[in-house]
Structure 1
């Protein structure tokens, strides 16, 4: 299997990381986020559900400590040459092996940044690190260091993002003809995911969201499929994925005649999306993006039906979520800069009337106005009953 990017690309990323480590006076980093490992070296696996850690020293050395099942995975997908294996056995302590490895690298007594805020760091691992490494080195939470670097995409990454965007549109275009009275959610879902796979794409970081009837108000995946009625509503949230890079979109499709509530909620969502687009420019904050969304929706007296966040960054992500840093919520000071990939969603769920309406798409930030990565129309999608 070839690397996702050129070795020169990975070398540049390593230089960027070690320069930031030097600025922050960190002697080493312990990476636990699979996204960080993938971004830095190409290492691609789902084995991060077990203990593994990638050590990066300020002078650019990289050592991966992982399980035997992931040894060849790392050899084939990454630039890492120094791969160590911790042994699966009763009472095994991979953190003790990590401590021995850090000692071998001369890092005792040094300042070491640790990625705590990630799915690859369980509470058990955190406890063991606090117990076994606290007197070995000065450990500091550096969970956001690589996440901040990953949020700005390189030209090579943007090329993959554009390929993911094409798969996003293809998935919706495959599903739309199937939607109507008597349609089965399973067939719609199969068409969407099948279009991504057929186009050379990957599994998404989380399941596609599909819900009709009362479940159209949900913004999470749930198990169980239903068949669409003559008058119905179907909420879809999905992502085209290429080389782990995600481009998400969201729509609520009305089956039959739209109700007055559907139309009112759609108009609020469309106005909010237009306001958000004006904020997706360098220098504005993610908090301002949220405020623009909330202002338009609240002005139409629909504030009770919106969420407390309206989007987030996207990139190369792993299960259980494709959401990335930073998120658009109230007062988030994180700034928009060029070459971010940002998904914004206007989600309205009126439990009183039972009407749902969602509208979302992904943008690439630039020096001027943001570029929408999807070619899908923003009109209210209606399928005849």
Structure 2
């Protein structure tokens, strides 16, 4: 098996999840989130875009229902021994085969948690699962069960997060070397991704974001490349990725002389990030982090240009997004605790002036102050 952690690590994770299941009165858990499957067993695939379910019993029993294309994937990358295959065919009914599997596992009449907030469980398949299991067992929403356990990382996981941070720094250095007037965005993007692959890293859970000129004001990837002008702005959002663990970063690089708007945004972003760091400590909440961000941004007159969130948790994530829960938005009560990993982004987009400025990096929460996983300076980058 190609496991990235010791078997004892997986056993500890399963024990924590089954303890939480017992606290909620659940006899079993039906997992559709790929992150849950990877966390508990090491199972690594993108086949979750098709119907796939991992069962965990209160006794720690694991059973996977998947397609034939993922059989060897599961055998090679996970600790799962009981692997069942639903049959690809015209009129295939994987939900019915899930019921058959659960019947064989003694789940009739039981109370099972289910992850329905999953990219791998479409509305179509979700309705099929509900219909197949109607009257067979009681289904209870349990979207947050594994998520709340895995939000706190082990020492072994944090080693991978720090490695991802190193790869993220390497990607930034590669981008800086390529950034200048006349440079093509495609070359910059290739340099970033190449640095991560060369360092032993992985594909990110979503596309890197790159945009210059007016496109620098976008917070999402879009198709199409541009050549940098003598006076320009380049927004980059990327992540170092190692064993699927992400360390995300965001910077706006200034080509030529910074504008007055850029200088004002830089001051606001750096002060806001410093205020956020003060809240990234045990005893505070995700809502406290956002409140610090909003207060400083608004004091700088940036309320119109900031976002309604300023970061989120990170971990081992799969497509289509590296964003994880909890997120930093107003009044979010989720507590901040040691071992958590957060990406904090200070994003400013002034559509009136056509100016953008973004500053963000990833932190590991400690017993006292947070640990940034990047060693790169927060000073404005000019080229």
TM-score bracket relative to the smaller structure: over 0.9
C-alpha offsets along residues 32-54 of structure 1, whole Å, 9 cap, x if unaligned?
Answer: 00000000000000000000000
Structure 1's consecutive aligned runs of 4 or more residues displaced over 2 angstroms after TM superposition are none
Note the C-alpha offset of 1:319: 0.3
Give the corresponding residue for 1:167: 167
Give the corresponding residue for 1:303: 303
Look up the SS of the partner of 1:369 in the other structure.
Answer: coil
**Paired residues, number:** 383
> What TM-score does the superposition give when structure 1 sets the normalisation length?
0.99
Q: How does 1:111-260 map to 2 (within 5 A)?
A: 111-260=111-260
Note the C-alpha offset of 1:134: 2.2
Look up the SS of the partner of 1:238 in the other structure.
Answer: strand
Q: How does 1:279-298 map to 2 (within 5 A)?
A: 279-298=279-298
CA distance in 2, matches of 1:2, 1:30: 24
CA distance in 2, matches of 1:75, 1:177: 42
Q: How does 1:312-351 map to 2 (within 5 A)?
A: 312-351=312-351
Look up the SS of the partner of 1:309 in the other structure.
Answer: coil
Give the corresponding residue for 2:63: 63
CA distance in 1, matches of 2:372, 2:114: 35
CA distance in 2, matches of 1:56, 1:332: 30
Look up the SS of the partner of 1:166 in the other structure.
Answer: helix
CA distance in 2, matches of 1:93, 1:263: 59
Give the corresponding residue for 2:272: 272
User: Which deviates further from its counterpart, 54-63 or 4-13?
Assistant: 4-13
Look up the SS of the partner of 1:305 in the other structure.
Answer: coil
CA distance in 2, matches of 1:24, 1:41: 22
CA distance in 1, matches of 2:236, 2:169: 13
CA distance in 1, matches of 2:367, 2:282: 6
Give the corresponding residue for 1:41: 41
Note the C-alpha offset of 1:294: 0.4
Give the corresponding residue for 1:374: 374
C-alpha offsets along residues 108-127 of structure 1, whole Å, 9 cap, x if unaligned?
Answer: 11110000111111101111
Note the C-alpha offset of 1:130: 1.7
CA distance in 2, matches of 1:302, 1:250: 18
Mark the runs of 5 or more structure 2 residues left unpaired by the alignment. Answer: none
Give the corresponding residue for 1:10: 10
Note the C-alpha offset of 1:60: 0.5
Look up the SS of the partner of 2:328 in the other structure.
Answer: strand
Mark the runs of 5 or more structure 1 residues left unpaired by the alignment. Answer: none
> What TM-score does the superposition give when structure 2 sets the normalisation length?
0.99
C-alpha offsets along residues 281-329 of structure 1, whole Å, 9 cap, x if unaligned?
Answer: 0121101100100000001111000001000000000000000010000
Q: Report whether the alignment pairs 1:77 with 2:113.
A: no
C-alpha offsets along residues 231-255 of structure 1, whole Å, 9 cap, x if unaligned?
Answer: 0000000000000000011000000
- Alignment root-mean-square deviation, CA: 0.6
CA distance in 1, matches of 2:371, 2:45: 31
User: Which deviates further from its counterpart, 52-61 or 101-110?
Assistant: 101-110
Note the C-alpha offset of 1:177: 1.3
